Structure 1
Amino acid sequence: MKKLNIGIYGFGTVGQGLYTVLQKSKTVDATLSAICVKHENKKRNLHLPLLTFDPNRILDNPEINVVAELIDDADEAYLLVKKALKKGKNVVSGNKKMLAAHLEEMIQLQKETGQSLLYDASACGSIPIIRNLEEYYDNDLLKSITGILNGSSNYILTQIFREGKDYATALKEAQELGFAESNPDADVQGYDALYKLVIITAHAFGPVIPAEKVFRFGIDQITNFDVRFAKEKNLKIKLVAKVTKTGKDEITLFVAPEFVNKENYIFNVEDEYNGVVIEGEFYDKQFMFGKGAGAYPTGSAVLSDITAISHQYKYEYKKRKYFALPRFTNRLSLTVYLRYHQEEDLALFDFDEIYENYKGRENRYVIGKICLEKLVKINNEIEKRQLFLAVFNE
């Protein structure tokens, strides 16, 4: 087992969680040498010798061989991780936005430097999805991965459906409990789940898909009307991220609210928990469940990556190495519920077929078939409108 000397960037929720679990863990032979933070005047319950405000104190220290990058700023995280790898340090990262944007480069950097970059904590909190995809599902038999990948939005939807709260009240409560940021857009608009889906897809099927090519719609426009519609049909709405094989050589991805029934594995995934359903050719469906938000669950996931580094573990990216990479496509037909107010909003959507059309005094909705390719083209425009869209599970 390799002796580790750790430098941490960031001392927010995850950084503090890692610090705590490191003190209590006996599973890894590690010394914490430095914690780099940005704001000098912020009060912290830390021994002063550990604290630094200079990033180079970690980068230039030859004794530090593992860097834990746990900051919010994706651009800054990219520079730190890149420099650390080039300086011969192994890295653990929780920054899913940075990884989704630069994963191709990071894979190449690991080859060039011989160092390891692990990031299981970036994808599903405490669920070890990436290492399982690398080791257990290291074959060409996967059909789809479907999951609740964002604990904050799931907590909000749980409060709406189980407790009968409206969206604004549920969001405020999630912020007060620390599950959602003061600016919650990344969570409730589906960006966080999208970045995680891009990372998961690379390990499940091989290719790194640019996030901007993937359809993404969040829960921030959900109303009591949409909730009532779902409840009348004994359904719940979950923010779902999905990658699926649409043909032998093609995959498609999307993030959107989805109606789920009681038979669906993720129906009972509540509060800040995540749930992932892995479907394969010969083993049908398998389900992974765990906390997707919070200091200790995520801090424990980071510690698991650090422990793996002590055993010289590296991702092998086996799907890229041993199999032909599938093509990305948005040619997939979805059954969609669209609640809108203005006819001009409906006119944006070029439905191939409409099954149901309702017009009330305050709300209107249609249910119909539409190609994902069409939704991608209007993605930016529909987010500006007061409408809500949800996919039917098929």
Structure 2
Amino acid sequence: METLTIESDKKCGSKLRAKLTIGLFGFGVVGEGLYHVLKNSRTVDATIKKVCIKHPEKERNVAENFYTVDANDIINDDEINLVVELIDNADEAYQIVKSSLLKGKSVVSGNKKMLAEHLPELIEIQRTHNVSLLYDASACGSIPVIRNLEEYYDNDLLKSITGILNGSSNFILTKIFLENGDYDTALKQAQDLGFAESNPAFDVEGYDSMFKLIIITLHAFGTLVKPEEIFNCGIPNLAPCDIQYAKEKGLKIKLVAQVKKITEDSFTMYVMPKLVAPDDYIYSVENEYNGVIIEGEYYEKQFMFGKGAGAFPTASSVLSDITARAHSYKYEYKKHTFFTPPAYTTDTEVQIYLRYRESLAFSHFDFENITEKYSSREYSYVIGTIKLSSLQKIKNLLPKLDVFIAAID
């Protein structure tokens, strides 16, 4: 039997892989994680030349001349050919990313809010300036969902994407639901471990998941939807009676994001808690883990699972983007470029569980039909179908109401 020997051509490989000199914005949980991950990586010829930080008084384990507080020290440095942006503030991130692209520098970003709000402009800038904007780390922590949608699922056969996209809210639900913890303690623990964002509302109210879903939808279906057009609600109003209801039915509660084709020419999307059955892939996704179900016309359902929060899982995803850029990789936005993208609609019905305490709160919900009712002195609930467009109309009112909503399949 003959054996096949493949010899690596290092000289050829060096031509294919560019040497990257990185300017890093942000040295928090993920930024410092990237610093350590990059030091131990043998897959890419990349070094961090300078890190731009906001709080120079903070104690750090790296030499002082490694840092700067002036963004221009990175943006105007001709030696730096890749900017990595890992800060919380979306407005500042936008200015950093836009300025870097206009300067002819490729960018890796993890700021999902900034991307969801500015992608059309940034995509056009990278096209006209022949640079690359990569952001796989913005969507699902360590799960490479965007690259897979671009390359493996680059056909027009997708039906839906459903998943747990926020590791911190899932961590909180695990502590509450499986360990009988209380909401405030679980939230504090998530923040102490670096899972929760600096503003917890971003995670627990579903905004983080919504921004991620917008990015995923662009690569899945080729359509970019504005944040204000999407219904999202979260878990802050989750009460013991909601947990009790779920347990009595043999279900769990997860914060779920979903984009789903309704017809060949239309799709819908939302983020809300969901009552999940044991036969659902995401039923067993716990703690800071994410889980994504990709459903297609012919390959049915495929499941991706991995850590969605934490320093090293997210930093590893950033490293993957850096390595891809070393090989001159760019997103091609194939669904938008080569297919006719479907239109977004909220003209569709969803079945929900609605728990409320006052009839005035219930009066804001325009149900199409109700299949189950329960009332007691402490609380009431109904199960029924309602238009997604109807929920969208009262989206901004919901945080003021003592209600809890969960989708039901």
State TM-score, norm by structure 2: 0.95
Give matches, 1:259-274, under 5 Å: 259-274=275-290
Q: Which runs of 5+ in 2 are unaligned?
A: 1-16
Question: For 2:288 and 2:52, how far apart are their aligned partners in 1?
Answer: 28
Deviation at 1:350, TM superposition (A): 0.5
User: For structure 1, which segment, 171-180 or 235-244, has the greater mean C-alpha deviation from structure 2 after superposition?
Assistant: 171-180
Asked whether the equivalents of residues 166 and 224 of structure 1 are also in contact (C-alpha less than 8 Å), the reply is: no
Q: How many residues align?
A: 393
Which one of 174, 184, 190 corresponds to residue 174 of structure 1?
A: 190
User: For structure 1, which segment, 360-369 or 160-169, has the greater mean C-alpha deviation from structure 2 after superposition?
Assistant: 160-169
TM-superposition CA deviations, 1:145-200 (whole Å, max 9, x none): 00100000000011111111122222222222222245310000000000000000
2:34 alignment partner in structure 1: 18
Question: For 1:181 and 1:203, how far apart are their aligned partners in 2?
Answer: 25
Question: For 2:144 and 2:134, how far apart are their aligned partners in 1?
Answer: 11
- Residue 229, structure 1, aligned to residue 245, structure 2: yes
Give matches, 1:211-222, under 5 Å: 211-222=227-238
What amino acid sits opposite 1:10 in the alignment? G
TM-superposition CA deviations, 1:284-322 (whole Å, max 9, x none): 000000000000000110011000000000000000110
Give matches, 1:1-40, under 5 Å: 1-40=17-56
SS of residue matched to 2:330 = coil
Give matches, 1:283-294, under 5 Å: 283-294=299-310
Which one of 351, 373, 379 corresponds to residue 335 of structure 1?
A: 351
1:319 alignment partner in structure 2: 335
Question: For 1:182 and 1:136, how far apart are their aligned partners in 2?
Answer: 34
What amino acid sits opposite 2:382 in the alignment? V
SS of residue matched to 2:400 = coil
Divergent runs of 4+, >3 A: none
- Residue 383, structure 1, aligned to residue 399, structure 2: yes
SS of residue matched to 2:55 = coil
Asked whether the equivalents of residues 121 and 302 of structure 1 are also in contact (C-alpha less than 8 Å), the reply is: yes
Which one of 261, 266, 280 corresponds to residue 250 of structure 1?
A: 266
- Residue 370, structure 1, aligned to residue 406, structure 2: no
Identity of aligned residues (%): 59
Question: For 1:218 and 1:145, how far apart are their aligned partners in 2?
Answer: 19
Larger Rg: 2
SS of residue matched to 1:153 = helix
Give matches, 1:56-71, under 5 Å: 56-71=72-87
What amino acid sits opposite 2:284 in the alignment? N
Which one of 334, 343, 361 corresponds to residue 377 of structure 2?
A: 361
SS of residue matched to 1:163 = coil
Asked whether the equivalents of residues 333 and 369 of structure 1 are also in contact (C-alpha less than 8 Å), the reply is: yes
Question: For 1:327 and 1:183, how far apart are their aligned partners in 2?
Answer: 32
SS of residue matched to 1:389 = strand
2:119 alignment partner in structure 1: 103
Asked whether the equivalents of residues 260 and 269 of structure 2 are also in contact (C-alpha less than 8 Å), the reply is: yes
Q: Which runs of 5+ in 1 are unaligned?
A: none
Give matches, 1:76-91, under 5 Å: 76-91=92-107
Question: For 2:64 and 2:55, how far apart are their aligned partners in 1?
Answer: 14
TM-superposition CA deviations, 1:335-394 (whole Å, max 9, x none): 11000011010000000101111111101111111010100001111221111000002x
What amino acid sits opposite 1:120 in the alignment? D
The two structures, once aligned, show a CA RMSD in angstroms of 0.8
Question: For 2:190 and 2:154, how far apart are their aligned partners in 1?
Answer: 37
What amino acid sits opposite 1:234 in the alignment? G
What amino acid sits opposite 1:230 in the alignment? A
Question: For 1:32 and 1:198, how far apart are their aligned partners in 2?
Answer: 30
Question: For 1:391 and 1:276, how far apart are their aligned partners in 2?
Answer: 17
SS of residue matched to 1:352 = strand
Question: For 2:198 and 2:24, how far apart are their aligned partners in 1?
Answer: 24
Which one of 145, 150, 165 corresponds to residue 149 of structure 1?
A: 165
Question: For 1:183 and 1:280, how far apart are their aligned partners in 2?
Answer: 35
What amino acid sits opposite 1:35 in the alignment? V
What amino acid sits opposite 1:134 in the alignment? E
User: For structure 1, which segment, 182-191 or 130-139, has the greater mean C-alpha deviation from structure 2 after superposition?
Assistant: 182-191
1:303 alignment partner in structure 2: 319
Which one of 98, 108, 117 corresponds to residue 92 of structure 1?
A: 108
TM-superposition CA deviations, 1:210-236 (whole Å, max 9, x none): 011000010010011000000000000
Deviation at 1:95, TM superposition (A): 0.2
Question: For 1:181 and 1:241, how far apart are their aligned partners in 2?
Answer: 18
Question: For 1:23 and 1:299, how far apart are their aligned partners in 2?
Answer: 12
What amino acid sits opposite 1:211 in the alignment? P
